[in-house]
Amino acid sequence: MSAPESTYVIEGSTGPWELVIGLEVHAQVVSKAKLFSGASAEYGAEPNSQVSFVDAAFPGMLPVINRECVAQAVRTGLGLKAEINLVSRFDRKNYFYADLPAGYQISQFAHPIVGKGVIEIELESGAIRPIGVTRLHLEQDAGKSMHDQHPSQSFIDLNRAGVALMEIVSEPDMRTPEEAGAYLRKLRTIMRYLGTCDGNMEEGSMRADVNVSVRKAGEPFRTRCEIKNVNSVRFVMQAIEAEARRQVEIWEAGGEVRQETRLYDPSRGETRSMRSKEDAHDYRYFPDPDLLPLVIEQEWVEELATHLPELPDAKKARFMSQYGLPAYDAGVLVMEQATADFYEAVARGRDGKIAANWMLGDFFAGLNRMGRGIEDSPVSAEGLGGLLDLLADATINGRIAKEVMEAMMETGETAAAIVEARGLRQVTDTGAIDGAVDQVLAANPDKLAEYKAGKEKLFGFFVGQVMKAMAGKGNPALVNEALKRKL
């Protein structure tokens, strides 16, 4: 990976410190059933109603792997341009916790299903940086513990126990909070395009563990700390900065950063030690004797590859070449597949640049004002296209079009209906325009005299007055022409 050109540093008393950031993302696989049992993987059911004896670790129960979960991992690997390992293996990761009934998590340690890949992130400066993906492996989720239901007891719900997760581990390639945020957003976008993870961080279907260390420029890595289970992009970025500052203070005070697991507290804006137990990382992995090696066929991988959707990077490149969009606009439009599809429906058979300008401008602004997303937009792609058609055939002018757009957002009616009902059709009748011009000139003799005396800037004033007299409906080109003629 090329050396970063980042200028982001933490200024300490001994000079600037560089950040080294790696992310481990746990992404819940979109599937109907769990990874190794036939219980439902759906979110939000009654406690312990989606638990098989396998999930509850009853003695003698054997795990049987879900083909679709394997397919989802392969699809995600392909989306990350990663090596797909045709032979992988499951290991037991041993630790003791109340919501882990077997006392171990089935995971892939030594032989993950997906190897090295890459995610290209785009920064605010427009720069594109490749961030290495070390690996992706399949594993089981644990159950859920509730500690606030009873004074002396914790309550355990195993509905989530055994649901398939993909753990996606990055290289320590990121150097700034912004890069970490961009990486998370891009990974989320890719998985949502693929339909392999819904990327919903609030519901916990995507969670990030953040590894942070600091160093002086040119140094090898120093000790890192892991911040567990951060559940929003914003918090990930905040946690990185807070943790880096903490580490700089320790080093500069002559101390030593201890490798440990920490938690980010958003209300205090700081991280704190979670379990400093020396055994926390002693998982005693060994191959799961209940599970044979996972062997998949190259033909199956190729078959899955042929059915992948167009991914965001490819779609962005196509939007730029096919519709002539600038990189930034194309990037915003492809962030969500629904937005990209909406845009293409609007742009089909129309001017792609104008369609993008209207979508990214007045249309998004309107949605924001109403607190709505593209999925529940009151104006359909067809509706927005209809407005652009009226603009293209000069039925209305640009100023009126903005007004019509607002009315469409409020009423859900078509542009044509609103233009008809409110009489917003552009006036191209030169007689009417000439009349309005005469009226304005007659009403403003002083300004007319000033203009004639050489104050040509007043031309704009006259245009404005004429448009006003015509309730905004005058054809701007014809109004200009008429004024030039008469002045």
Partner 1 sequence: MSSASAALDPAAVRRIARLARIRLADEDVAQLQSELGAILGWIEQLNEVDVSGVDPLASVGSATLTMREDVVTDGDQTEAVLANAPAHSGPFYTVPKVVE
Kindly list the residues in this chain that would bind partner 1 in the complex (CB under 8 A).
31-33, 37-40, 46-54, 56, 58, 64-70, 89, 94, 96-98, 103, 145-147, 149-158, 274-275, 279, 282, 284, 287, 291-295
Nearer to partner 1, 53 or 221 (CB): 53
Structure tokens at 174: 């990121």
How far apart are CB 109 and partner 1 at their closest, in Å? 14
> What is the residue whose two structure tokens read 């083909």?
67
User: Judged by CB, which is closer to partner 1: 275, or 485?
Assistant: 275
Of the candidates 261, 167, 142, the residue with the CA atom closest to the CA atom of residue 212: 261
Q: What is the dihedral of CA 465, 470, 471, 473, to 10 degrees?
A: -110
Closest to partner 1 by CB, 96 vs 218, is: 96
Q: What is the dihedral of CA 410, 414, 416, 419, to 10 degrees?
A: -10
Q: Which is nearer to partner 1, 64 or 394 (CB)?
A: 64
Q: Measured from the CB of residue 273, what is the shortest distance to partner 1 in angstroms?
A: 11
CB of 82 to partner 1, least distance (A): 21
Using CA atoms in the order 191, 197, 202, 207, what is the torsion angle rounded to 10 degrees?
A: -80
| Amino acid in position 481 | E
Distance in Å, CB of 118 to partner 1, minimum: 29
Give the CA distances from residue 468 to residues 114, 127, 399, 472, in Å, rounded to whole numbers and listed in that order.
Answer: 65, 45, 12, 6
CB of 263 to partner 1, least distance (A): 8
Taking the complex as a whole, the smallest distance from the CB of residue 155 to partner 1 amounts, in Å, to 4
Nearer to partner 1, 65 or 360 (CB): 65
Q: How far is the CB of 226 from partner 1 (least distance, A)?
A: 15
Closer CB to partner 1, 229 or 380, in the complex: 229
Query: Which CB, 58 or 328, lies closer to partner 1?
Result: 58
The CA-atom distances, in angstroms, between 33 and each of 56, 67, 164, 292, 361 are 15, 10, 9, 20, 42
Which DSSP category does 376 fall into?
G
CA distances from 462 to 125, 324, 416, 436, 443 (A): 42, 36, 30, 11, 11
Least distance in Å: CB of 290 to partner 1?
A: 10
Q: Which is nearer to partner 1, 89 or 186 (CB)?
A: 89
Q: Which is nearer to partner 1, 10 or 45 (CB)?
A: 45
Nearest distance in Å: CB 91, partner 1: 12
**Residue environment code for 99-134, b if the CB has 16+ CB neighbours within 10 A, otherwise e:** bbbbebbbbbbebbbbbebebebbeeeeeebebbbb
Query: How many Cβ atoms sit within 10 Å of the Cβ of residue 141?
Result: 25
Alpha-carbon Rg for the chain in angstroms? 30
Closest CA to 308 of 333, 337, 331, 332: 337
Contact 416, 390 (CB under 8 A): yes
